[in-house]
């Protein structure tokens, strides 16, 4: 148990903040539902409670993935976060289904009402602001590897969208979910205004369906990314980046093979380099230390590096690998 609590400090902070904020938002929506009896607010309440539970499990999974390898699991626990996120998308999938069904129900049973208008607007407005705070935290995590001047001020927003595909799995989930949450809250507010002050009383139903479809997109994106992560997906961009650094050594003639495999938030590296066959063991050991240092300079979250040596075959293998890799 002590080890479990010790690992919690390594969990993804945006997921923890998202879980806390969504719990607060869910409580606000629960109070609003109990006062107004608004079915749409009930759906939003369930949505927020589901998000809170989902993101709490994501935080736990990202923390446990940092556990050191054991005799029973010598490969470590890096891919555990991918497995947790695959489970998390099931929750989001159920929420998406319920949201769409609730929207269809509202369209077929739309009625005009101005009761508790400002309470509903106030709760949704407060929810949007709180979700924006979580979204900002996720944006900071996604862009933490970039120079500060590149993410200063409003530059953070476009840079986070540009780099989201390379983000940690947990940060990506929070980022995508909170985009839907913020957009959904704003859309719901607009729909309430339209339904209250125009003849288009079914606007909230259509808004609910749009939010549900957006959640389906999140489910699909997260499922595909984490299914690949659970299987072990190659990071082609990182391979090229590491290869360029390794070949800076004057006694490394070529790279015969270089695999960079994503394991959750960590990377596993295996490579075979070509050197002079008459090289001494001491010289080879110095090269091994050089490679290990260069790789860890290129990226922080490398769990292990396996290096093999082979004699130079006078064939430029690394250039061929780069040309054959998809961009």
d(CA 163, CA 302): 19
Nearest to 208 by CA among 316, 69, 110, 288: 110
CATH assignment of the domain containing 308: 3.30.70.1350
Whether residues 223 and 275 share a domain: the answer is no
Query: Where in the sequence is the domain holding 261, given as residue range(s)?
Result: 236-324
Closest by alpha carbon to 196, among 117, 104, 108, 105? Answer: 117
Rounded distance, CA 201 to CA 225, Å? 39
Last residue in a domain, options 190, 212, 231: 231
> Do 219 and 263 belong together in one domain?
no
Same domain, residue pair 227 and 253? no
Judge contact between 154 and 26, C-beta under 8 A.
Answer: no
With a threshold of 0.85, does the pTM exceed it?
no
Q: Which of 231, 260, 285 is the last residue of a domain?
A: 231
241 and 117 in a single domain? The answer is no
Q: Are 244 and 223 part of one and the same domain?
A: no
Identify whether residues 175 and 73 lie together within a single domain.
yes
User: Tokens at residue 148, please?
Assistant: 């500060």
User: What phi and psi, each to the nearest 5 degrees, are found at residue 65?
Assistant: -65, -15
Tokens, residue 267: 């990377």
What DSSP designation does 258 have? E
Q: Which helix (H) or strand (E) holds 111?
A: none
C-alpha to C-alpha distance for 7 and 283, rounded to whole angstroms: 39
Q: What does each of the 327 residues of the chain score in pLDDT, given as a tens digit?
A: 566 566 676 677 778 888 888 899 889 888 888 887 766 677 777 778 877 877 887 788 778 777 777 778 777 777 777 788 788 788 878 878 887 887 888 787 766 666 788 888 898 899 889 889 888 988 998 898 788 888 888 889 999 998 888 787 778 878 887 888 888 888 888 888 888 888 888 888 888 888 888 888 878 887 887 787 777 777 788 888 888 888 888 888 899 888 888 776 678 888 999 988 888 888 889 889 888 888 887 777 787 888 899 888 888 888 888 777 655
Nearest to 86 by CA among 219, 261, 265: 219
Neighbours of 22 (CB within 10 A): 27
């Amino acid at each position: 148990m002590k080890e479990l609590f010790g690992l919690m400090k390594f969990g993804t902070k945006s997921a923890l903040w998202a879980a806390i904020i969504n719990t607060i938002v869910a409580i606000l929506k629960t109070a609003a539902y109990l006062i107004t009896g608004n079915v749409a607010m009930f759906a939003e309440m369930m949505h927020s409670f589901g998000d809170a539970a989902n993101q709490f499990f994501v935080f736990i999974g990202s923390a446990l993935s940092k556990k050191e390898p054991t005799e029973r699991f010598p490969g470590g626990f890096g891919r555990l976060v991918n497995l947790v996120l695959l489970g998390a998308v099931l929750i989001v999938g159920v929420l998406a289904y319920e949201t769409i069904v609730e929207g269809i129900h509202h369209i077929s049973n739309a009625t005009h009402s101005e009761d508790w208008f400002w309470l509903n607007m106030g709760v949704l407005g407060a929810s949007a602001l709180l979700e924006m705070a979580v979204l900002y935290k996720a944006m900071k995590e996604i862009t933490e590897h970039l120079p500060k001047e590149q993410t200063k001020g409003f530059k953070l927003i476009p840079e986070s969208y540009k780099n989201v595909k390379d983000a940690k799995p947990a940060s990506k989930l929070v980022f995508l979910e909170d985009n839907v949450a913020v957009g959904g809250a704003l859309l719901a507010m607009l729909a309430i205004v339209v339904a209250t002050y125009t003849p288009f009383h079914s606007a909230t139903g259509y808004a609910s369906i749009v939010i549900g479809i957006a959640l389906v997109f999140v489910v699909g994106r997260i499922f595909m990314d984490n299914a690949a992560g659970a299987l072990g997906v190659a990071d082609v961009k990182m391979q090229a980046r590491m290869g360029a650094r390794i070949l800076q050594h004057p006694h490394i003639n070529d790279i015969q093979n270089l695999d960079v495999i994503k394991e959750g938030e960590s990377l596993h590296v295996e490579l075979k380099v070509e050197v002079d066959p008459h090289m001494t063991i001491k010289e080879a050991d110095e090269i091994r230390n050089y490679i290990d240092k260069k790789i860890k300079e290129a990226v922080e979250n490398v769990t292990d590096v396996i290096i093999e040596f082979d004699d130079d075959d006078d064939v430029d293998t690394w250039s061929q690998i780069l040309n054959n890799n998809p961009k």
